[in-house]
Amino acid sequence: MHGEARLERITGPLDTLVVSGGLGHLDAAKDTALVAHVRRLAAVTRRVASVCTGASVLAAAGLLDGKRATTHWIAADHLAAEYPGVTVDSDPIYIRDGAIATAAGMTSAMDLMLDFVEEDHGAELARQVARGLVAYLQRPGSQAQMSMFTAQPHAEHALVRRVTGHIAAHLSDLSTAALAAREGVSARHLTRLFGKHLGVTPGRHIRRARVEAAAQLLVHTTTPVAAIATRCGFGTAESLRQAFVRRFGVAPAHYRATLSRHSPLPSAESVSRSRP
């Protein structure tokens, strides 16, 4: 990206101010002159956004204080440690908190910009832009940056790998005790292994596997919500709804309508039970 004007020469009012990320984001956040100009321009801008690690500059300018924000998952821990006044959530692909928006890495910027286009000019133009970009229209901001089914934890322990594989393929009728018995170890020992190698308890891993499997089925099949709840081990649609709201911030029906509203859904038979 090449600058076409010096920041000090730019005055408002502005419609949208976007701070991009990059390898120099930490130095940029320490550049008091740059940060001051971002703060000045934000005051005369209708909405402010960051892409990827550009959130560091917004945080340095104090624009994210008291707000929920995201950034690329690689930089999330640093952002949270450096700016404790910011509620950093590394899961969503973008977050809009009032007039401030933050997007995660890479393609999530397209999702946020399509959201801006739809907000300003309607769904039809946003749909045309998405077609021109050969992009989906559009993933909700609450969608996770990474799914556990595309980024499985790299457990070095063979027993832990076997158990996580079994969980992914058999989402119903799971318990820590049953999983431990299957491997011939105690529930306490299995919990210790999960904590050491994955950083979570078996129960938490199971819950996450179930809710993400449900998310995949909601988007890629026409299976009723109640049937998805049963298939993924929730038992009832209400249990699924509660887990979904905790994980993604929206109800299952809203997630499905938002993510699949512009494209036909494949049949339930096209989705494997072992790979939801």
Q: What residues act catalytically?
A: 52
Strand 87-88 relative to strand 68-69: parallel, antiparallel, unpaired?
A: parallel
Q: Where in the chain does DSSP place strands (E)?
A: 14-19, 45-51, 68-69, 87-88, 94-97, 100-103
Which tokens hold the place of 103? 């997007």
Q: Where are the beta strands (DSSP E) in 43-192?
A: 45-51, 68-69, 87-88, 94-97, 100-103
- Rounded CA Rg of the chain: 21
Contact 117, 125 (CB under 8 A): yes
Q: Would you state the structure tokens that stand for residue 207, as one six-digit string?
A: 């819950």
Q: Are 57 and 35 in contact (CB under 8 A)?
A: yes
Task: Pick left, alpha or beta for residue 137 (phi over 0 → left; psi -120 to 50 → alpha; otherwise beta).
Answer: beta
Q: Are the C-beta atoms of 210 and 248 separated by less than 8 Å?
A: no
